[in-house]
Amino acid sequence: MDIAFLAPLREAAHKTVRTIEDRTPADRDRALDGLRALALLGVPLGHWLVGGFTRDADGALHNTSPLTALGALAPASWVLQMLGIFFLVGGHASVLSLRRATERGEPAGRWLRGRIARLGRPVLGVTAVWAMLLPVLYGLGVPEATLRTGATLVIQPLWFVGVYAAVTALTPYCVRAARRWGAWTAAPLAASVATVDFLRYGPFADVMPSWLSLLNLLPGWLFAYQLGVAWGERRLGGRAARTLLLGGVALFAALLLFFHYPASMVGVPGQGRTNSHPPSLLVLALAAAQSGAAVLLRDRLARLLRRPALWAPVTVVNLSAMTVLCWHQTAMLSAAVPASFLGEVPGLTAHPDTLGWLLVRLAWLPVFAAALVLIGRTTRRFEEPWTGVTRAHRTAAALLAAGFAVFALRLA
């Protein structure tokens, strides 16, 4: 009976796989899509594993992290933090996209506006929807502290979109630099981050202003993007990739062992220093190693993804990239907020301070993933062009999004 029940599902899955395979252009760079999907999935997986909650006496949820009590798990963040690969692939893809636009006679400004719109629509969608949800949830009895916690989590990954838009705007300049100096164009960016790190962590740290770290924001994330642009311009080959891999690993180890950088690639509550917000030199060392490995493994990955059963999920993830980024925290909250009314639920609303919590949290991951799929079936439309949407509706969405940002950033 079980076999008979599963047969239609297998047939439908097989048909979907074949359809995706048949619709894939022969010249599609499957390795790039595979790398992008891998980096993208690391975002929800990382947030779901290192994002915990505590429940106060009033039943409200507050953010915490298992890394606070289980610092030995920090090396897991080295694997889950794959934004370097995301920016690398983004730079490569932007080169190809801009090149095709130029061949069509499309001005660079129009190309950029199209790219920014693709990034902005899903962000506007998720923030506007949450702005409408907040009063409804409050009316249903969800504590204000829980709503602020949820708003913080929802807006947390959206910083990436602003940074990515900024580096995308620099693509024409990155291309010209890469054509002239190749992968070396990323070296001044690393030097800039190293200088800021020296000033804020070195002997002059006590007299440095707190805003100094913000100077690392653009060069820190532009580093891997510039490498991707050089790769797309065929100025990053095997020898340079091996140098990036070995040099990145060596620098990463030196920063940890001799310069006492925090081991975690994500922020840990209560820790004085953080690597990712904004990026430190340790993030660039990891991005260099990841970029080198990605370039070296490209051909092998492309051959692997010639298998239709492996290629189909990669395609689905890439088609829903912004939906995954914008809504994965909502998926986790869709389980945690109702559970907060039940008390301390293991792996969900209980304090994340034991290995047992981590094991139970692993069991919750399929629940979060299923919730994300269900949410994405409706919200993925925000990634598509908003045809038929009036200016009044766009203005209303923008105002709702601004209101949500004010609430999430605790400005009101």
What is the chain's alpha carbon radius of gyration, rounded to the nearest angstrom? Answer: 22
CA dist list (Å): 151 to 134, 323, 376, 378, 409: 9, 17, 18, 20, 8
Three-state secondary structure along the chain? CHHHHHHHHHHHHHHHHHHHHHHCCCCCCHHHHHHHHHHHHHHHHHHHHHCEEEECCCCCEEEECHHHCCHHHCCHHHHHCCHHHHHHHHHHHHHHHHHHHHHCCCCHHHHHHHHHHHHHHHHHHHHHHHHHHHHHHHHCCCCHHHHHHHHHHHHHHHHHHHHHHHHHHCHHHHHHHHHHHHHHHHHHHHHHHHHHHHHHHCCCHHHCCHHHHHHHHHHHHHHHHHHHHHHHCCCCCHHHHHHHHHHHHHHHHHHHHCCCCCCCCCCCCCCCCCCECCECHHHHHHHHHHHHHHHHHHHHHHHHCCCHHHHHHHHHHHHCHHHHHHHHHHHHHHHHHHHHCCCCCCCCCCCCCCHHHHHHHHHHHHHHHHHHHHHHHHHHHHHCCCCCCCHHHHHHHHHHHHHHHHHHCCCC
In 10 A of CB 27, how many CB atoms? 5
The set of long-range contacts for 25-30, using a CB threshold of 8 Å and a minimum separation of 24, is 29/96, 29/302, 30/301, 30/302, 30/305, 30/306, 30/311, 30/314
Reported as a single tens digit per residue, the pLDDT across 265-282 is 987 777 778 898 889 999
Domain residue spans in the chain?
A: 61-297+376-408
Write the CB contacts of 370 (distance below 8 Å, at least 6 apart in sequence): none
Residue 278: asked if its preceding bond is cis (omega within 30°), the reply is: yes
- Token pair, residue 187, equals 């070296």
Reported as a single tens digit per residue, the pLDDT across 154-200 is 998 898 899 999 999 999 999 999 999 999 999 999 999 999 999 99
User: What is the rounded CA–CA span in Å between residue 90 and residue 111?
Assistant: 15
> pLDDT of the chain along its 412 residues, tens only?
455 656 777 787 788 889 999 899 988 999 999 999 999 999 999 999 998 999 999 999 999 999 988 888 899 999 989 999 999 999 999 999 999 999 999 999 999 999 999 999 999 999 999 999 999 999 999 999 999 999 999 998 898 899 999 999 999 999 999 999 999 999 999 999 999 999 999 998 999 998 999 999 999 999 999 999 999 999 999 999 999 999 999 999 999 999 999 999 987 777 778 898 889 999 999 999 999 999 999 999 999 999 999 999 999 999 999 999 999 999 999 999 999 999 999 999 999 999 999 999 999 999 999 999 999 999 999 998 888 788 898 899 999 999 999 999 887 6
